[in-house]
Amino acid sequence: MTDPARESTPRHIAIIMDGNGRWASERGLPRKEGHRAGAEAVREAVEACNEIGVRYLTLYAFSSENWNRPKPEVAALMTLLERFLKTKAKEIGKKNVQLKAIGRLDMLPKRTRNQLDKVIAETSSNDGLTLNLALSYGSREEIIDATKALAKEVQSGALSVEEIDHDVFSSHLYTNNTPDPDLLIRTSGEFRLSNFLLWQLSYAEIFISPKNWPDFHKDDFRAAVEEYKHRNRRFGKV
């Protein structure tokens, strides 16, 4: 017999992890300490997904706009990402999590990209939660890249203009093998999408938390999912 609670659990949750810098500033700490605390919150989110039964978790880890931040902060973020990948790889593997990444990954430093590719390869056979890290990611850039790929196929004769529909376009996005998110969580009380999954979030429910990301714990995650379960998703229908 199917569990009704599990049926209403979101299959895919996307999170805009906002507020690391503010969390650090409120405590008189350097911004990098906020990012470090945010990495711990990622661990809690992954654990919560496994406990609740969420199948896909996409985290907005580093946007294409983040390259414009001060170079020391960008370097610290890349170092933190490498450390996260090195220290959490075995833990991720033990929890049967498969790691994937989306974005313009060729822009990442070589050492960071190598570590990322290593963990992706090591977890490729896992069939539990799929953890998507959005790195060097921007949704407008994603849509442009998909449009260029489609244009090349039309130009070569491999595809006709008439064949392009929602499914064909979606298959050319970075997220082509992942279902669209059911729930978007954004922390720190901000009400904007910030160039994140603009195509994929068309029918997602949105949950805004006033808490900064490092303060967003398992109970908060569960509260967001419980609120989602009480939403009436009509997908444009009456």
Active site (catalytic) residues: 18, 66
Count Cα neighbours of 131 within 13 Å in the Cβ-side half-sphere: 26
Residue that is written with structure tokens 């654990």 in the block: 47
Residues 6+ apart with CB under 8 A from 148: none
Tracing tokens 């949950």 back to the chain, one arrives at 207
Residue 128 to residue 122: CA distance in whole angstroms: 14
- The sign of the CA dihedral 182, 51, 94, 44 is positive
Residue-wise DSSP of 93-151? HHTTPEEEEES-GGGS-HHHHHHHHHHHHHTTT--S-EEEEEEEE-HHHHHHHHHHHHH
Provide the total of helices (H) and of strands (E) in the chain, helices listed first.
8, 6
